[in-house]
Amino acid sequence: EAAVTQSPRNKVAVTGGKVTLSCNQTNNHNNMYWYRQDTGHGLRLIHYSYGAGSTEKGDIPDGYKASRPSQENFSLILELATPSQTSVYFCASGDGGLNYAEQFFGPGTRLTVL
């Protein structure tokens, strides 16, 4: 069974609308991350979380909010979506410790903002 799941897998939104992307992990990892992937940029970190109730800004947080209501769930919120936020969004989980330094990714959400 997939340990990191995302919903929806595809989303079409209108400019100015609110979009919420959801992520759930069953790895029991403390840390969760939201990335976006664009051609020529690889994966860039938007927000991350150390645990329930915490959110931290990544490298490109402008225009995005995040919410971590529980160990398992981490949401990415676009309050006022813009066409420049059209991208593929990946959620990941990881433990951050020496033995579990790698992150594990969800299947991605393709977002189109018209």
Q: 88, 60, 68, 79: which is closest to 25 by C-alpha? A: 68
Q: Which residue has the tokens 């990892």?
A: 29
Using CB under 8 A as the binding rule, whether residue 88 contacts other proteins is answered as yes
Which residue's CB is nearer to other proteins, number 2 or number 14? 2
Nearer to other proteins, 54 or 84 (CB): 54
Question: Cα separation of 6 and 108, whole Å?
Answer: 7
Query: From the centroid of its chain, how far is CA 35?
Result: 5
Residue 94 lies near other proteins (rule: CB under 8 A): yes
The residues with which 111 forms a beta bridge, in sequence order, are: 11, 87
Contact 18, 77 (CB under 8 A): yes
- Please name the amino acid found at residue 92: A
Alpha-carbon distance 104 to 62, whole Å?
A: 24
Interface mask (CB under 8 A) for other proteins, residues 31-70, using x and -?
Answer: x-x------xxxxxx--x-x-------xx-----------
Q: How far is the CB of 2 from other proteins (least distance, A)?
A: 10
**Residue with smaller CB distance to other proteins, 94 or 113:** 94
Say whether residue 6 binds other proteins (CB under 8 A): no
Residues that bind other proteins (CB under 8 A): 31, 33, 40-45, 48, 50, 58-59, 88, 90, 94, 96, 98, 101-105, 107-108
